[in-house]
């Protein structure tokens, strides 16, 4: 083998080695972030993210169940929100299928739960004439999740107003609910992090509508 051929082979070797290194780095970073924005890892560990995934999967499956286009995740998520908002607008108290909700709620360990939500005691009435029932309400004000949302929304133009409303009205107040239901067209739901934001919003909202079990 000539010196020129050896040099060419060495160049090919280093180019291949460089390509493999870049590919491995990209794969590692994707695995390291678990498919989420890196900002999430400032506030949640691997175990926490396993349960955040379950919450995202819960609403992914709810969206798939009511939408015809099950291939384009961004499209079917928007269709799901459109249908959910329509029921909300009609004044239906339970505007989303809540089957499996209580089981998921109770499966989240306290160490993870406390990073996402606070628990406040109050009462709920299932109808105008029904008696008050003791109720534990959840919100995410000043939690680890709230800090993540503040950080993430500061870099996400489409969620800046949502966080501003959360900050002003507290959690899933009426203004934040309306924004989430009527300003989703510019949100990229192929982003797992964006779906997490909406999943936590809906999960928190459903809690306010159901009695404790």
Domain boundary assignment for the chain: 1-33, 38-207
148, 42 in Cβ contact below 8 A? yes
Residue in 152, 146, 192, 188 with CA at minimum distance from that of residue 171? 146
Mind listing the pLDDT tens digit for each residue in 43-77? 999 999 999 999 999 999 998 888 776 678 888 88
- For residue 194, the model assigns a pLDDT of 94
Mind listing the pLDDT tens digit for each residue in 139-197? 999 999 999 999 999 999 889 988 998 888 776 777 777 788 778 888 899 999 999 99
28-37, 126-135, 188-197, 199-208: the lowest-pLDDT one: 28-37
Per-residue burial over 148-176, b = 16 or more CB atoms within 10 Å of its CB, e = otherwise: bbebbbeebeebeebbebbeeeebbeeeb
Q: What angle do CA 161, 166, 168 make, to 5 degrees?
A: 95
Model pTM above 0.85: no
């Amino acid at each position: 083998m000539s010196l020129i051929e050896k040099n060419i082979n060495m160049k090919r070797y280093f180019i291949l080695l460089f390509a493999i290194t870049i590919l491995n780095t990209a794969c590692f970073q994707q695995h390291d972030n678990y498919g989420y924005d890196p900002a999430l890892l400032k506030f949640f560990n691997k175990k926490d993210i396993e349960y955040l995934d379950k919450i995202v999967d819960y609403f992914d499956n709810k969206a798939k169940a009511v939408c015809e286009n099950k291939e384009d995740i961004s499209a079917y998520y928007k269709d799901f929100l459109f249908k959910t908002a329509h029921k909300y607008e009609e004044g239906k108290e339970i505007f989303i299928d809540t089957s499996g909700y209580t089981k998921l709620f109770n499966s989240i360990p306290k160490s993870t739960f406390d990073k996402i939500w606070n628990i406040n005691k109050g009462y709920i009435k299932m109808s105008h004439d029904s008696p008050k029932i003791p109720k534990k309400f959840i919100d995410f004000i000043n939690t680890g999740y709230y800090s993540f949302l503040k950080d993430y929304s500061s870099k996400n133009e489409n969620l800046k107003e949502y966080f501003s409303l959360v900050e002003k009205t507290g959690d899933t107040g009426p203004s934040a609910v309306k924004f989430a239901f009527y300003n989703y067209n510019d949100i990229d739901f192929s982003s797992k992090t964006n779906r997490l934001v909406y999943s936590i919003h809906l999960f928190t909202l459903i809690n306010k509508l159901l009695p404790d079990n």
